[in-house]
Chains A and B, each alone.
Chain A
Amino acid sequence: MSDGLIIDQLKKTQILELLQDGKRVDGRQFDEPRQLTIDIGVIPKAEGSARVRLGDTEVVAGVKIQPERPFPDTGDKGMLICTAEILPIAHPTAETGPPQPDVVELARVTDRGIRESGMLDMKQLVLEKDKSVIGIFCDNAVTDHDGNLFDACSYASTAAINSCKIPKYEMQDEKPVKIEGEFTEPPITTLPVSVTMAKIGDFILVDPTIEEWSIMDARITITSNSDGNVVALQKGGSDGFTQEELIKCAELSIKVGSKIREIIKQSKLRGN
């Protein structure tokens, strides 16, 4: 930490001065996310996939689908698990080995956004109640890290799940058997989209780059659904938000999120 301290302080002063003139280091508006490109179906062996580039941050998400034994208390619902990892190729500070708390947080926030939105109607993913259900696993691999991995993983997961194809299974002798070549559409109910904002001084910046990320005071990730409701939220960083700031952030997230949702929808149309 202390190695970069003087540089960090200089950088912070410079970024703050620019912000006071209404400018960001890369010339964006405060409420403007970086350019987002989404390609779906990039991994044909996965039942769903998406490569997302958000500025220079890149994430590949893959969906694998297989029958699972349900948890005892949720035998009437399918299973959905999202994870995220930062590959060591993504950044010089990325490490192999057990995940650090920030990576655990990334994975859990990604999962929460998809899960709590009720993106998939899990009741439609049951093969036989209490015995066998469809398990959907969406794993995010961060391949290049230029800040705001939360949103990149959110978009990659939503785009990959939205465009996945669920293989058809039938119960034969109490066992699920795959029917080759037959697929169904995923039971999508809504498209969750997260928007992360950094607080630097009194400024709120949408989609911070790694430079802004390294000097921010606090951050907040707010996920909204297709109806413009708030479905998940995570505050982070070593400062707080006022009540007014939190309301402004939620409004910003819903506004910016609706534009990003269109890009996710378009990616599916282009892919098909």
Chain B
Amino acid sequence: MGGRDTNIVLLDENGIRCDGRKVNETRKVTIKAGVLKNANGSAYIEFGDNKILVGVYGPRDVHPKHMSDTDTGILRCRYHMVPFSVEERKNPAPSRREIEISKVIKEALEPAVMLKEFPRTAVDVYMEVLQADGGSRCAALTGASVALADAGIPMRDLVAGCAAGKAADAIILDVNNEEDQAGQADLPIGYMPNLKKITLLQLDGVLTLEEYKQCIEIGIDGCNQVYEIQKKALQDKFFPSGE
């Protein structure tokens, strides 16, 4: 909205952001793979103050039956925020925002998952946001691809998520909640680091063409950092002794 007014200082004179980060720094990200007993694959991710649990079920039979495809498996995603995840209680029924985010995350994961190997089946990805801060769609996407790998689903690449944006006229990496509310632009990115393809991209806010290019550049950089943490989570699960 080209600069929403606010009293928060988003960027001080030393180039430090409201949460103490530099402009090109991500928040702390920790991921643990294999945290649920019943799910075929799972992950717990903390991305700054976001806390998200992801469970993957499948490949399994498709219900309702008419959704099944004889040619390929299908991917179904649900991004959901629990009522206590935000400042004011959220109605537990899926909002239009959650329906849209579920759809863009599904389309961000599809290029990575080799569904043709499992015709007539479904892989269900459930992302439960236990606590939300800015950038929960990127965090959920990041956790979901670790959970899919944990479930042993064949994948072409992991998808790492990280947003770039603009606040206080500076291009910043990994937009937090305050920066999303009071900043000038938010550009969440999902990226496959090995195939070098962007599979999730949205934008809210005004950017010049030059700023847009910078945001994509810095955002890809952030995704590459997140990717290293994803790999480490999977290594810790499958090779705990550090082989």
A interface vs B, CB < 8 Å? 1-2, 5, 101-102, 104-105, 107-108, 112, 115-118, 218, 220, 222, 225, 228-243, 246-247, 250-251, 254
**Interchain CB contact (< 8 A) of B209 among A115, A220, A232, A254:** A254
* Interface contact B206-A229, CB-CB below 8 Å: yes
Q: Is the CB of B197 within 8 A of A104?
A: no
A2 nearest in chain B by CB position:
B70
A235 touches B1 (CB 8 A): no
Q: Which residues of chain B have a CB within 8 Å of any CB of chain A?
A: 1-2, 69-71, 96-97, 99-100, 102-104, 107, 110-111, 187, 192, 195-209, 212-213, 216-217, 220
Beta-carbon nearest neighbor of A111 in chain B: B96
* Bound CA span A222–B201, Å: 10
Asked whether, in the complex, the Cβ of A233 is within 8 Å of the Cβ of B201, the reply is: yes
| 26 chain-A/chain-B pairs, Cβ below 8 angstroms | A1-B69, A2-B69, A5-B71, A101-B100, A112-B204, A115-B1, A116-B1, A116-B204, A118-B206, A222-B203, A229-B206, A229-B207, A230-B203, A230-B206, A231-B205, A233-B202, A234-B104, A234-B202, A236-B107, A239-B197, A240-B192, A240-B195, A240-B199, A247-B213, A250-B212, A250-B213
List the A side residues contacting B100 at CB < 8 Å: 101, 104-105, 108
Q: List the A side residues contacting B103 at CB < 8 Å.
A: 101-102, 104-105, 236
Give the residue name and chain of the A residue nearest to B98 (CB).
A104
- Are B220's CB and A233's CB within 8 A? no
A117 — which chain B residues lie within 8 A by C-beta?
206
B202 touches A241 (CB 8 A): no
Contact A251 B209 (CB under 8 A): yes
Contact B107 A237 (CB under 8 A): yes
B107 and A238 contacting across the interface, CB-CB below 8 Å: yes
Contacts of A250 in B (CB 8 A): 209, 212-213
> What is the distance, in angstroms, from B32's C-beta to the closest C-beta of chain A?
27
* CA of A9 to CA of B48, assembled, Å: 44
**A233 & B187 in contact (Cβ 8 Å cutoff):** yes
Q: Nearest A residue to B204 by beta-carbon distance? A: A116
Complex-state Cα separation, A222 to B187, whole angstroms: 12
User: How far apart are the CA atoms of A172 and B208 in the complex, in Å?
Assistant: 44
Q: How far is the CA of A241 from the CA of B218 in the complex (A)?
A: 16
- State the main secondary structure of chain B at its contact with A: mixed
B111 touches A240 (CB 8 A): yes
Q: Which residue of B lies closest to A105 (CB)?
A: B100
Residue of B nearest to A115 (CB): B1
Instruction: Determine the distance from Cα of A204 to Cα of B201 in the docked complex, in whole angstroms.
Output: 16
8 nearest A-B residue pairs (beta carbon): A240-B197, A233-B203, A240-B199, A235-B201, A238-B110, A101-B103, A104-B99, A230-B212
Contact, CB under 8 Å: B102 / A101 = yes
A48 to B192, CA, bound (A): 44
Determine the chain A residues whose CB is within 8 A of the CB of B205 once the complex forms.
116, 231-232
With most chain A CB atoms within 10 A of its CB, the pick from B71, B99, B203, B205 is B203
Residue on B with the closest CB to A237? B107
Q: Is A232 in contact with B204, judged by CB distance below 8 angstroms?
A: yes
With a cutoff of 8 Å between Cβ atoms, the chain A residues found around residue B2 in the complex are 118
A53–chain B nearest beta-carbon distance, Å: 27
Pick from B1, B97, B111, B217: contact of A118, CB below 8 A: B1
Q: Roughly how many angstroms separate A236 CA and B101 CA in the complex, as a whole number?
A: 11
Docked complex Cα distance between A231 and B203 (Å):
7
A228 to B208, CA, bound (A): 7
Instruction: Give chain A nearest CB distance to B169 CB in angstroms.
Output: 14
- In the bound complex, what is the Cα–Cα distance between A115 and B206 (angstroms)? 11
A112 neighbours in B (Cβ, 8 Å): 204
Tell me the bound Cα distance from A35 to B168 in angstroms. Answer: 41
Considering only CB atoms, which chain B residue lies closest to A222 in the complex? B203
B107: which A residues are within 8 A, CB to CB?
218, 235-238
Q: Is A247 within 8 A of B195, CB to CB?
A: no
